[in-house]
Amino acid sequence: MYGLVNRAVEQLVEQHLGPTGWARVCKQAGIADDGFVAISAYPDQMTYKLVGAVSQEMGMSPEQVLEAFGEYWIMYTAEEGYADLLQTAGTSLREFLGNLDQMHSRIETVFAQMVAPVFSVEDEGPGRYVLLYQSQREGLAPMVVGLVKGLAKRFDQPIAIEQLPSRAGFAGVFRIQEA
């Protein structure tokens, strides 16, 4: 994944464990603690190893780490560098989720080798809809939960999100119920 993702993991870890904590995580993951360059592509394996090491270091499951990371991504990373982009994608959670693909397609011109996820939304009723997530990667569904929770906070819209049994061809199916 792009350095942008890995360095967000670094920032999240530093925020909680400080630079020495980050150094420990890197050691555990077997990668250099020099840092990442946002626009450089790194092997996916590196990100997975990092998540594994963070989970050990913080005593959380990898799923919890991914979810925390998803939320952090929205609150800090996307906000820090791509606030304009976030702004164009909608003024409510529902609208934003509907524009996710368009948003990622914008990013694709910057991160040319990006393997972007594909999202679609099915409405079930007022304030109730299903988010469908397709991916070429494994195991990142918990991150989507965190991302959606982060977005909900961003729009100040309390929600409940539950992961439904997945459908063929999808990496995750989530029902979102607005409060």
Partner 1 sequence: MIHLTEAELAQAFPFYLALNPEGQIYKAGVSLCKAFPSLAAGQYFEDCFAIVRPKVATVQELAAQHDVALVVQARQQGALRLRGNILVRAEGLLLLLSPVLTSSEEMQAAGLGMGDFAFHDASGDMLLMHRTNQMSLADANRLASRLRNKSKQLDTVMRLSPDGLAYFGADGVLNYANPSFQRLLGLSTEQLDHLQRRDFEVWLQTAQVPACPSLAQMLDTHLPLHLSFNVPYRRVIELQGATADEEGGVVLYLRDITAEVEANRLKTEFLTMAAHELRTPLASIRGFSELLVSRPVPAAMQQDMLATINRQSVNMTELIEDLLSLSKLDELTRDKLKLANHDLRELLEMAVSSSFAGADDFLVTRDYQVEQCLVQVDRHVMLKLFSSLFSNVIKFSPEHKQVDLQLRPQMRGDAAGVLLSIRDHGIGMKPEQLEHAFERFYRADHSGHQPGTGLGLAMSKDIVRLHAGDIALDSRPAAGVTVSIWLPQSSSAVSACPTEHCY
The smaller minimum CB distance to partner 1, of residues 30 and 169, is found at: 30
CA-CA distances (angstroms) from residue 51 to 17, 65, 94, 116, 140? Answer: 14, 7, 29, 19, 11
Rounded Cα gap, residues 168 and 151, in angstroms: 26
Stretch that binds partner 1, among 29-37, 60-68, 136-144, 152-160 (CB under 8 A): 29-37
The smaller minimum CB distance to ligand HEM, of residues 21 and 52, is found at: 52
Q: Tokens for 66, please give them.
A: 């991914």
Could you tell me the smallest distance in angstroms from the CB atom of residue 42 to partner 1?
A: 12
The yes or no reply on residue 146 touching ligand HEM (CB under 6 A) is no
Contact 133, 121 (CB under 8 A): no
Q: Tokens for 101, please give them.
A: 């693909």
Stretch that binds partner 1, among 106-114, 129-137, 158-166, 167-175 (CB under 8 A): 106-114
Amino acid at 158: P
The yes or no reply on residue 69 touching ligand HEM (CB under 6 A) is no
Place of tokens 């990013």: 107
The yes or no reply on residue 113 touching partner 1 (CB under 8 A) is no
Binding residue for ligand HEM, selected from 9, 65, 68, 140, defined by CB under 6 A: 140
From the list 82, 8, 94, the residue with the least C-alpha distance to 51 is 8
Stretch that binds ligand HEM, among 1-9, 53-61, 120-128, 161-169 (CB under 6 A): 1-9
Q: Tokens for 87, please give them.
A: 């702004």
Binding residue for partner 1, selected from 15, 18, 27, 39, defined by CB under 8 A: 39
The yes or no reply on residue 2 touching ligand HEM (CB under 6 A) is yes
Sheet of 128-134, strand order: 118-125, 128-134, 172-178, 159-164
The yes or no reply on residue 119 touching partner 1 (CB under 8 A) is no
Contact 159, 93 (CB under 8 A): yes
Q: Which residues bind ligand HEM (CB under 6 A)?
A: 1-2, 4-5, 74, 78, 82, 85-86, 100, 104, 107, 111, 114-117, 135-137, 140, 143-144, 147, 151
